[in-house]
């Protein structure tokens, strides 16, 4: 494969993941983390993991990500909008996980993917 194409795709995946994280931060998502899965798996390049406080907050985060990324980036699939404890948005090279606090603690994706490089995204939780 052409290295420049490969590098370009890697940069696009990272740029998309960062943009999603920034949109989530704009909606006051908490504990936003990017996991770089590229060295570990071929299923996706990045996970963006964040927490919403209540159902309405989770819905607002998911809706804002969906709205602000369209029309350029549409999710291939969204799952979990019905019960809102864990919404998964699949953008193929980036998978977004928006959890409520209890579900995030229970599934602990950060521990499951502990070998992945993690990047914490600033949020307002320290304010």
Quick: pLDDT tens for 16-58: 999 999 999 999 999 999 999 999 999 999 999 999 999 999 9
Hey, which residues does 95 pair with through a beta bridge? Answer: 47, 90
* φ, ψ at 122 (rounded to 5°): -60, 135
Hey, which residues does 35 pair with through a beta bridge? Answer: 47, 118
Question: Taking the alpha carbons of 90, 91, 93, 96 in that order, is the dihedral positive or negative?
Answer: negative
Name the pairing type of β-strands 86-90 and 46-51: unpaired
Question: Taking the alpha carbons of 116, 119, 124, 126 in that order, is the dihedral positive or negative?
Answer: positive
Least confidently predicted of 14-18, 55-59, 78-82, 123-127: 123-127
Class of domain 3-122: alpha beta
């Amino acid at each position: 494969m052409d290295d420049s194409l490969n590098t370009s795709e890697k940069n696009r995946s990272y740029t998309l993941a960062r943009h999603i994280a920034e949109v989530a931060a704009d909606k006051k998502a908490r504990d936003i983390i990017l996991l770089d899965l590229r060295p570990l798996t071929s299923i996706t390049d990045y996970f963006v993991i964040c927490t919403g406080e209540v159902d309405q907050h989770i819905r607002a985060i998911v809706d804002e990500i969906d709205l602000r990324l369209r029309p350029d980036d549409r999710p291939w699939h969204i799952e979990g909008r019905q019960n809102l404890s864990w919404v998964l948005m699949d953008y193929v090279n980036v998978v977004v996980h928006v959890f409520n606090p209890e579900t995030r603690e229970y599934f602990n994706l950060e521990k499951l993917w502990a070998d992945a490089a993690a990047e914490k995204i600033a949020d307002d939780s320290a304010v």
